[in-house]
Structure 1
């Protein structure tokens, strides 16, 4: 059960049910040197949190063993939200996933199908629907030139 729990956590890290959350700044606050004024809406993209290489080395790789003896700092693992909006059913959801996987893996014959995807194809999946480069997600401080798509190099 311990390794199964690690597989579930790693899966939740890589594939989020909810990919963003919105909050409103209740007071002026500085984040990484940037002022977020009171009343501004802030969008947190969970994928950027879960793919942070400083927290999760080799973050693009599926590695359930990374959870062996690892307890993530607050705010670095958010598959069920954070704070007052933390999902109260998170333990039930993990239990349901465990029961499903138990019956699925023991009750069916499975085989591994391996294929490779070039990284640039994966990046195209995350582009915005309008193909408007001005609407692509960017990190704070990343310059917006308004010309071309920085993801297709």
Structure 2
């Protein structure tokens, strides 16, 4: 049974989860659509740093990075294409390979969204103050590490149980 502190922690984590979906910038896009634009942008920036000459990201890679199914990713891509925020680019060497890239409109929406989010973070830090922000960052990182370690331990025990199965 979870005590009062544990219950309060769970309630606060749930509140933050709910806020995460409400904090999206007012771009007219859903949370997952905006995250797809961000994922494509981040992927392209990393490729540029690695000096890779790719015109975009493959749908399969986008699904992997967003942890979404291929059909869900394809549906979101079609929706973003209809809004002219994404485009499909066929590989010049292998026409079976198709890349997804941001259009100028997609880059504009993404920049507006990032600016709104940066402003939100700045206002929050200003209200919270440097000391409390540093403390929250330290505690948040520690909580993340604790939860990740616990998940890894549970997964390892489950894997061990399956390995001992005598069916």
Same fold (TM over 0.5): no
Please give the TM-score of this superposition, normalised by the length of structure 2: 0.27
Would you tell me which structure has more helix in proportion to its own residues? 2
Larger Rg, first or second structure (1 or 2): 2
Q: What TM-score do the two structures reach when normalised by structure 1?
A: 0.29
